[in-house]
Structure 1
Amino acid sequence: MSTKQKDTGKKRGQQPRAAVEPDLDGLRIAALDVSTWPQFAALVERHNGIFGGCWCTFFGPDCPEKRQSYEGNRALKQRWVEEDATHAALVLDGEEAVGWAEFGPPEELPNLHHRKQYLAEQQQPPDFRVTCIFVDRRYRRRGVAELALRGAVELIAAAGGGVVEGYPHDLDGRRMSASFVYNGTRRMYERVGFVYDRPKGKGNCVMVREVAAAG
């Protein structure tokens, strides 16, 4: 039975934390790995597993453990981290994770929204894709999502670079709740050097950037 939990920004029995004014100059990027798993897990737990207990597993490969329960998705994500089979740029404020941008090669992140349309129109698969950007509700609308995306680009460059795709919302002046802008906006991607390629679905688009390998 699937365990669905509303994203309320607090753990069971806890009051939500007060909003804070983050000092973006004081934030730093760290790769998601076994050493930063506790910070990542704490961020997800503060938001009840993210999107009904997803634990940022939606875009990963399908497997029997996936989408079964909150606890099952948590264990699956932790296993992927231990196996170096999932990647993300974490935004840290001190020792607390306050956001992330998930990225990886297509074989690591094969599942996409509007997949049928995407594959029908695809000319060549990218080397990497950015699939999900999430920010602690206390830090939203303050530039943390863009910082996470820039961190992902830096980590991709360190991994050898290549063609990178992202699939943000193309809002065209419309406003949307920050809770549902799961992968940022077209304008944000453009600020980070991505260029528009084509529409995807009714409100998203494909953005592309060539990232050089870190020297």
Structure 2
Amino acid sequence: MRTIALAYCQVVKTTLLVRPLSDETWPAFAALVEANNGVWGGCWCMGFHVKLKGRTAEQNRSEKEQRVHDGTTHNALVFDGDSCVGWCQFGAPKDLPEVKSKRLYEKGLTSLPDWRITCFFTGKGHRGQGIATIALAGALEQIAQYGGGVVEGYPEETDDRKVAGSFLHTGPMAAFEHHGFTRTRPISPHRWVVTRTVAPA
């Protein structure tokens, strides 16, 4: 298994590794999801792949695992030792068609990006430690290895508001701006399309 990114988390004084979701890392990813009730009640990080209405957690788990086998889902997983503590999902628009605020997104769309950054998750006990920023760095490294291109994200702007975690599943604006993304257009009162071009590795 190749380690693609190495980051130092000053909050917990430990070295965190970022690895791609693969058949080898699936058990650690699944353990994190299972420890958190399937994530958002059984999403299994499938909500940007398909419409979730009417689907069971078991269906989502099975399809996510199959997509890992097929190479049609991509997550940058943050590891603390042998445990997966968070992730950032990315992929091509054809694999992740279900963007949030889709009507407003499509209204202002001029061309599709090469890649989308769609969702983040951090496990209990590791929140507030910059895991999302580390995961995003890993996702961008993986995208560079896949050839790079235009990358879009859809983060929530907190504006110093107290925001429920469910609204931050597309990532905090601060993480994207830290990695050089530029605001392109708003698609909800507090959510933006942000873009950055990643050079090939």
TM-score if structure 1 supplies the norm length?
0.85
- Does residue 38 of structure 1 match 2:22? no
Aligned counterpart for 2:171 among listed residues 174, 184, 196: 184
Partner Cα separation in structure 1 for residue 18 and residue 193 of structure 2: 25
**Shift of the alpha carbon at 1:202?**
2.1
Letter in 2 for 1:72: Q
Who is 1:106 aligned against? 93
Instruction: Kindly report which structure 2 residues correspond to 1:39-78, keeping only aligned pairs within 5 A, or say none.
Output: 39-61=28-50, 67-78=54-65
**Shift of the alpha carbon at 1:66?**
7.5
Partner Cα separation in structure 2 for residue 67 and residue 208 of structure 1: 32
**Shift of the alpha carbon at 1:67?**
4.6
Which structure 1 segments of 5+ residues have no match? 1-20
Partner Cα separation in structure 1 for residue 19 and residue 54 of structure 2: 27
**Shift in alpha-carbon separation, 1:49–1:70, aligned structure 2, 3 A:** same
Who is 1:94 aligned against? 81
Q: Kindly name which structure, 1 or 2, has the bigger radius of gyration based on alpha carbons.
A: 1
Partner Cα separation in structure 2 for residue 61 and residue 182 of structure 1: 16
Q: Is the 8 A contact 1:141 1:178 kept in 2?
A: no
Who is 1:27 aligned against? 16
Aligned counterpart for 2:184 among listed residues 197, 209, 214: 197
Who is 1:165 aligned against? 152
Partner Cα separation in structure 2 for residue 161 and residue 85 of structure 1: 17
Q: Is the 8 A contact 2:117 2:154 kept in 1?
A: yes
CA deviations over 1:105-143 (Å, ceiling 9, x no partner): 000100011111101101111000000010012101111
SS of 2:193's partner is strand
Partner Cα separation in structure 1 for residue 57 and residue 12 of structure 2: 29
Letter in 2 for 1:42: A
SS of 2:196's partner is strand
Which structure 2 segments of 5+ residues have no match? 1-10
Q: Percent identity?
A: 42
Partner Cα separation in structure 2 for residue 129 and residue 163 of structure 1: 9
Q: Which has the higher strand share?
A: 2
Aligned residues: 191
Partner Cα separation in structure 2 for residue 81 and residue 104 of structure 1: 12
Partner Cα separation in structure 2 for residue 134 and residue 22 of structure 1: 18
Who is 2:7 aligned against? none
Runs of 4+ in 1 over 6 A off after TM superposition: none
Q: Please give the root-mean-square deviation of Cα atoms over the aligned residues, in Å.
A: 1.5
**Shift in alpha-carbon separation, 1:22–1:178, aligned structure 2, 3 A:** farther
**Shift in alpha-carbon separation, 1:66–1:82, aligned structure 2, 3 A:** farther
**Shift of the alpha carbon at 1:180?**
3.6
Partner Cα separation in structure 2 for residue 29 and residue 133 of structure 1: 14
